[in-house]
Amino acid sequence: MNDPIIIVGSGIAALAAADVLCKKRNVIIFTKSTKTDSNSSLAQGGIAAAIDTHDSCEAHFADTLAAACQHANPDQVALLVKHGPECITEWINKGMNFDKDENGAFDLAQEGAHHHRRILHSGGDATGRQFIELMLARLANEPNVLFLENEMVFDLVITDEGNCQGVLVKDANGNLHAYEANAVILATGGAGSLYACTSNHVNATGDGIAMAYRAGAEIADMEFIQFHPTILHKQGNSYGLVSEAVRGEGAILRDETGFAIMEDIHPLKDLAPRDIVAREIHKQIAGGHEIYLDASTIKNFSTRFPTINALCQKQSINPETDPLPVMPGAHFMMGGIKADPHGATTVHGLFAVGECACTGVHGANRLASNSLLEGLVFGSLTAKHILKAEIHENQPIHTRTIEKNKKTILLPQKEDIQLKMMLYAGVLRNERQLSKLINWLEQFDFHHIELRKYSKDKIEIINMLTVSWLIATSAYMRLESRGGHFRSDYPEVDATWQQKQLIRHFTEIRPVNAIL
């Protein structure tokens, strides 16, 4: 066989790609912690697909476009929803079990901005974990798959010809290694952990986006961050996600007086699109109110939502009788590394799938439970494309020289970045806040740093600074409000900005990595 295919990340998109590739190619999967640590494993709500006889791909398509606020790529959305049912069927045949009702039919749930019950779930609210366990079990029996855990890919090997031909890695002991590959797939997930309040795994620090940016790949739509309305939040601390499926089963958002805050805000009330619900909760909290999710009407809560029930019980909250204190937190990144339907980026030999990729399927606001579907569909499509295509013939690797900052720079703490991102680039933004954030970020000269001399923890902070800067700069440039991006100083939608993608004129400051 030729050089292996390298996959960076171990979430659902990474494993879906590996499941296809390993039949014909050697695959190496890198993860900076363990292979079970990912946002996919934490996914509670389920996976959306039009499999019910009363539903249709056309209806799923319409709901996805509506939630995306006129910013999605219709062709990509059509690809997603049309491949969805067959992808679900394929994984059911591979052993995935979805919850069923007493009649043996799929127990479909409804979530925000969906007009049909089309959410399949497994283990109540453990869909992501069930998927990952099945996928890992399948790959454990594949001789062509090698998992390298606790090894952090921190940069991409780019040849003089502009091809991506491998990765640079820091192992568990901080030693430096280089791996060549026929193709590299970035499946590193999102960047929710740039924020102080988030539903994301602690590892979600935007590493893949930062690497692709340094390699010169096109980055798009970084201003569109989805804030989930209901993060369990008690006494100043965040404890995890309370799935939208809870509201789908009848839970109601109320203030401390019992008033239902979404009653007159949107026709779908508590099941309005996430950006609308998150902004209303933010507004209420800013006005001095406390916001709670009242789930007391849901029968058998502990059986239907065992993960959330356990989360609440740890904080001495009984969801069947006690209101759940909630607030919005960073949940999903709609933008990222620009990728086509086959996962190809603007760097030859480099692919991106899952949340780190920007395929255009989510637009300015992701429809609930489309994320696991995206991982399955585009992970598989990308792998099939790689198997069919001749990516490139490997060329001798030569060092590309660039002026870099040779001195060690002072870096902030992760908590400093997270607090400032929450404060200045959160649910609401404005010019003053974003300017302040950009100036603070740019005092750290992270654009031309020689990464290899830094520890894994320090590289992660550099990646956080890089992606925070991309988000803040994009948000500063978009002088309108749309989906997950809301400017209090430009609160209206500007139709002329509909498909405008930012981060185009920063190429002059992009460093190209020096190769071993």
Residue ranges per structural domain of the chain: 226-330, 414-509
Q: Which of 25, 247, 274, 366 is catalytic?
A: 274
Q: Are 43 and 384 in contact (CB under 8 A)?
A: no
Task: Decide if pLDDT at 98 tops 90.
Answer: yes
Q: CA 349: distance to chain centroid?
A: 22
Average pLDDT over residues 235-263: 93
Q: Which residue type occupies 491?
A: P
Given pLDDT bands bounded at 50, 70 and 90, which one contains residue 407? Answer: low
Question: For the domain 414-509, what is the CATH code?
Answer: 1.20.58.100
**Pairwise CA distance, residues 426 & 330, whole Å:** 8
To which residue do tokens 């929803």 refer?
A: 81
Residue 498, pLDDT above cutoff 60 = no
d(Cα 117, Cα 52) in Å, to the nearest integer?
8
In the structure encoding, which two tokens stand for residue 352, read together?
Answer: 């991106």
3-class secondary structure for 430-483?
Answer: CHHHHHHHHHHHHCCCCCCECHHHCCHHHHHHHHHHHHHHHHHHHHHHCCCCEC
More confident site: 363 or 403:
363
Q: Is the separation of the CB atoms in 44 and 127 below 8 Å? A: yes
List helix spans (H) across 118-183. 127-140
Q: Please check the confidence at residue 404 and state whether its pLDDT lies above 80.
A: no
Average pLDDT over residues 403-432: 87
Tokens 């792998």, residue located: 383
pLDDT digits (tens, 9 = 90+) for 349-398: 999 999 999 999 999 999 989 999 999 999 999 999 999 986 545 444 44
138 is a catalytic site residue? no
The residues, ordered by sequence, that sit 6+ positions from 376 with a Cβ below 8 Å of its Cβ are 12, 13, 16, 47, 87, 88, 91
CA angle, 52 then 58 then 64, to 5°: 95
> Has residue 481 got a pLDDT over 80?
yes
Say if CB 333 and CB 201 are below 8 A apart.
no
All residues at 6 or more sequence positions from 439 whose CB lies less than 8 Å from its CB, including other chains: none
Q: Who's near 377: CB < 8 A, 6+ residues apart? A: 79, 80, 83, 84, 87
What sign for the dihedral angle of Cα 102, 108, 111, 113? negative
Q: Which residues, at least 6 apart from 32, have a Cβ–Cβ distance to it below 8 Å? A: 150, 151, 152, 153, 203, 207, 456, 460
Q: Which of 408, 393, 407, 406 is nearest to 180 (CA)?
A: 393
Q: Which residue is associated with the tokens 């992760």?
A: 414
Q: From CA 193, how far away is CA 329, in angstroms rounded?
A: 10
31: part of which helix (H) or strand (E)?
strand 27-31
Amino acid symbol at 181: A
Query: DSSP string covering 8-22, please?
Result: E--SHHHHHHHHHHT
Using a pLDDT cut of 90, give the percent of the chain over it: 82
3-state helix, strand, coil in the chain (%, to 5): 35, 20, 45
DSSP state of 297: T
* Number of Cα atoms under 13 Å in the Cβ half of residue 256: 6
- Tell me, which fold does domain 226-330 have in CATH? Flavocytochrome C3; Chain A, domain 1 (3.90.700)
Whether the pLDDT of residue 323 is over 90: the answer is yes
> What does the DSSP assignment read for 197-248?
SBSS-TT-S-HHHHHHHHTT--EE-TT-EEEEEEEEEETTEEEEE--HHHHH
Could you report the per-residue pLDDT of 171-185, keeping only the tens digit for each?
999 999 999 999 999
Q: What is the model's pLDDT at position 504?
A: 40
Residues comprising the chain, all counted: 516
Backbone φ and ψ for 30, nearest 5 degrees, come out as -100, 140
The Cα–Cα gap between 164 and 515 comes to 11
